């Protein structure tokens, strides 16, 4: 018997998520020393974890024999103070990826649809398809979300619109005014997820006042993460801000202990370490310029990015990706589902890592 037939057709046809190649895997394949490998493939923070957050993590170890606080009281309290929202408006997730899944679990199913953009973050198609919902994919404009066309694409059976702002892997940003006009146009019966995983990398002037919009738009869900500027990708913690009734539905489909105790303690400490986030922002800006200048010197162009990564047009990207691997540099190919076969996405690393990438890229282009 073919056991795969036991699963619904919409599950069987899911194309698995392709994560960045782990350092340990490349080290095994090439017989290289792990310390010689540079991984710029998963938009992590090259600064690592701040000292105050590290101390909070170590402090939380003593409690790991116990289940964590399933309501995440301390973290919700800290977030509610920071953003001026009620605790009932917050949903915590095992990474913001979990939060996205909770939206799909709560609002999507067979016979319903979700709208997202071409080149949008890969979890939107995955979460949509895993629920048996229909995907309405709207062609991108200048690599970014064409929010006007996305509003027009909303159908009678649409329950969710996914928007990444900035988007991964293109790094594109929809300006605040356009996003606000979009929110006014979309009917209230459609949940709009604005995924702000890279929010902390935006200059304050470029950030849309989305938290304030929650008051006017009960169908708005904001998704944020501690994986990027806060440096906690490995611990897995993210959150959503939403209307209390939307948050309530998401919490009903959530695993009772979806965020572990170490992650909860770390996130509270990281949220309060504003200096670490400010430094991460400044490092990123500098690293972005370094890679842009390096790419320009190599005669390459790129998609201007508002995140902690940049997507560079290298031509035969699948081949260049392999050549970079041979030189111990891992970046992210964005052909396949992302439909950008000439580009590679590179995470902004430390100055040294960026330099390693640029020289390996120069050699790979010459090879
Ligand atoms: C746009 C976007 N949203 C969400 C995520 C999920 O991140 P996490 O689950 O680590 O919060 C990512 C990760 O790369 C992302 O790029």
Q: pLDDT tier at 262 (50, 70, 90 boundaries)?
A: very high
pLDDT of residue 79: 98
pLDDT of residue 329: 97
Q: State in Å: Cα 95 to ligand 1 middle.
A: 7
pLDDT of residue 134: 97
17 pLDDT more than 90: no
| Residues near 212 by beta carbon (within 8 Å), at least 6 away in sequence | none
CA 270, CA 313: separation in Å to the nearest integer? 35
Ligand 1 nearest atom to the CA of residue 169, by list position: 16
β-bridge pairing 301-303 and 309-313: antiparallel
Q: What percent of the chain has pLDDT over 70?
A: 100
Q: Which residue has the higher pLDDT, 18 or 293?
A: 293
16 pLDDT more than 90: no
Beta bridge partners of 4: none
Token duo for residue 230: 């806060």
Pick the closest to residue 104 from 198, 193, 237 (CA basis): 193
Q: State in Å: Cα 197 to ligand 1 middle.
A: 6
Q: Tokens 């890679």 correspond to what residue?
A: 291
Ligand 1 nearest atom to the CA of residue 226, by list position: 11
Mean predicted confidence (pLDDT) in 179-206: 98
Ligand 1 nearest atom to the CA of residue 307, by list position: 16
Q: State in Å: Cα 301 to ligand 1 middle.
A: 25
CA 156, CA 144: separation in Å to the nearest integer? 25
5 pLDDT more than 90: no
pLDDT of residue 171: 98
Q: State in Å: Cα 327 to ligand 1 middle.
A: 27
Instruction: Kindly report, residue by residue over 301-348, the tens digit of the pLDDT.
Output: 999 999 999 999 999 999 999 999 999 999 999 999 999 999 999 999
Ligand 1 nearest atom to the CA of residue 100, by list position: 4
Q: State in Å: Cα 365 to ligand 1 middle.
A: 30
pLDDT of residue 89: 98
Instruction: Kindly report, residue by residue over 215-258, the tens digit of the pLDDT.
Output: 999 999 999 999 999 999 999 999 999 999 999 999 999 999 99
Residue ID of nearest Cα to ligand 1 atom 6? 97
Burial label for 194, CB within 10 Å (0-12, 13-18, 19+), is buried
Phi and psi at residue 227, in whole multiples of 5°? -80, -20
21 pLDDT more than 90: no
Q: pLDDT tier at 4 (50, 70, 90 boundaries)?
A: confident
DSSP-based three-state secondary structure for 287: helix
Where is average pLDDT lowest: 29-33, 98-102, 108-112? 29-33
Radius of gyration, CA atoms only, the chain: 20
Mean predicted confidence (pLDDT) in 138-166: 98
97 pLDDT more than 90: yes
Residue ID of nearest Cα to ligand 1 atom 3? 197
> How does the average pLDDT of the chain come out, rounded?
97
Question: Is 195:162 a contact under the CB 8 Å cutoff?
Answer: yes
Pick the closest to residue 335 from 323, 345, 322, 324 (CA basis): 345
Instruction: Kindly report, residue by residue over 200-225, the tens digit of the pLDDT.
Output: 999 999 999 999 999 999 999 999 99
Q: State in Å: Cα 123 to ligand 1 middle.
A: 8
Q: What percent of the chain has pLDDT over 90?
A: 94
Token duo for residue 344: 């590679």
Q: State in Å: Cα 125 to ligand 1 middle.
A: 14
Mean predicted confidence (pLDDT) in 253-273: 98
32 pLDDT more than 90: no
The binding-site residues of ligand 1, defined as CB within 6 angstroms of any ligand atom, are 43, 95-97, 121, 164, 168, 195, 197, 225, 227, 233, 238
């Amino acid at each position: 018997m073919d056991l795969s037939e036991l699963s619904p057709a919409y599950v069987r046809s899911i194309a698995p998520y392709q994560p960045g190649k782990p350092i340990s895997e490349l080290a095994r394949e090439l017989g290289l020393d792990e310390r010689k490998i540079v991984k710029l493939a998963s938009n992590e923070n090259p600064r690592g974890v701040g000292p105050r957050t590290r101390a909070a993590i170590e402090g939380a170890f003593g409690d790991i024999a116990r289940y964590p606080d399933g309501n995440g009281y301390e973290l919700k309290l800290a977030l509610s103070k920071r953003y001026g929202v009620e605790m009932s408006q917050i949903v915590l997730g095992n990474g913001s990826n979990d939060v996205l899944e909770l939206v799909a679990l709560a609002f999507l199913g067979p016979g319903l649809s979700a709208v997202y953009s071409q080149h949008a973050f890969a979890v939107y198609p995955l979460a949509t398809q895993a629920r048996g919902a229909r995907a309405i994919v709207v062609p991108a404009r200048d690599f970014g979300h064409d929010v006007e066309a996305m509003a027009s694409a909303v159908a009678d059976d649409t329950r969710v619109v996914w928007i990444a702002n900035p988007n991964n892997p293109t790094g594109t940003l929809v300006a605040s005014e356009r996003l606000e006009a979009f929110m006014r146009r979309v009917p209230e019966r459609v949940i709009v997820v604005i995924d702000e995983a890279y929010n902390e990398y935006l200059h304050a002037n470029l950030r849309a006042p989305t938290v304030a919009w929650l008051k006017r738009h009960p169908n708005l869900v904001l998704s944020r993460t501690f994986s990027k500027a806060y440096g906690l990708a490995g611990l897995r913690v993210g959150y959503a801000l939403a209307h209390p009734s939307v948050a309530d539905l998401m919490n009903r489909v959530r695993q009772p202990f979806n965020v572990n105790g170490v992650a909860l303690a770390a996130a509270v400490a990281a949220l309060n370490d504003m200096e670490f986030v400010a430094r991460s922002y400044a490092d990123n800006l500098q690293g972005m310029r370094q890679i842009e200048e390096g790419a320009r010197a190599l005669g390459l162009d790129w998609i201007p990015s508002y995140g902690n990564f940049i997507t560079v047009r290298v031509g035969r990207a699948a081949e260049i990706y392999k050549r970079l691997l041979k030189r111990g540099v891992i970046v992210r190919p964005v052909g396949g589902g992302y439909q950008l076969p000439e580009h590679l996405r590179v995470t902004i690393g430390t100055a040294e890592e960026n330099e390693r990438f640029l020289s390996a890229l120069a050699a790979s282009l010459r090879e």
